[in-house]
Amino acid sequence: MTKHELKCTLGSPRRLDECPIGLFMCMGELCLKTEYREPNGAVSAFIVGSGEFFWGPSPQSVASQNAETVTPLSLDEDEPSGSEADPLDTLVELLAPVLTQSKGMAAREREDRFRRAMTDLCNP
């Protein structure tokens, strides 16, 4: 069996509509941007922890959602080194405590926990 490890890189903050497809962070939430747009022009993006559509903070309009500043997150797979493991399973396992314990927390605390988890993931 082969073990896979993930390396992550936090990108430079940018507008959601200029962010690459994939994972991003906003206000302490791990989110996912798809390649699609909604019929009203909104970027089709979701909050990973809840599955809710990502609008960002108020006002929740298409223009404000597109202009929301987010931080892209890229994941790269290291060369295999032992036992078989799905990289997505590894990510979920590492982030599950942050996501499940974040309900009811202030955005800043969620962001701090997420940053610590990402630091642990990026620097094993």
Please check whether residue 59 lies inside any domain of the structure.
Answer: yes
Higher pLDDT, 41 or 97: 41
Please, which pLDDT band fits residue 111 given cuts at 50, 70 and 90?
A: low
Please check whether residue 1 lies inside any domain of the structure.
Answer: no
Structural domain count of the chain: 1
Q: What range does the domain containing 116 cover?
A: 6-122
Contact 86, 23 (CB under 8 A): no
Inform me whether the pLDDT recorded for 29 exceeds 70. Answer: yes
Please, which pLDDT band fits residue 1 given cuts at 50, 70 and 90?
A: very low
Per DSSP, the three-state class of 103 is coil
Per DSSP, the three-state class of 122 is helix
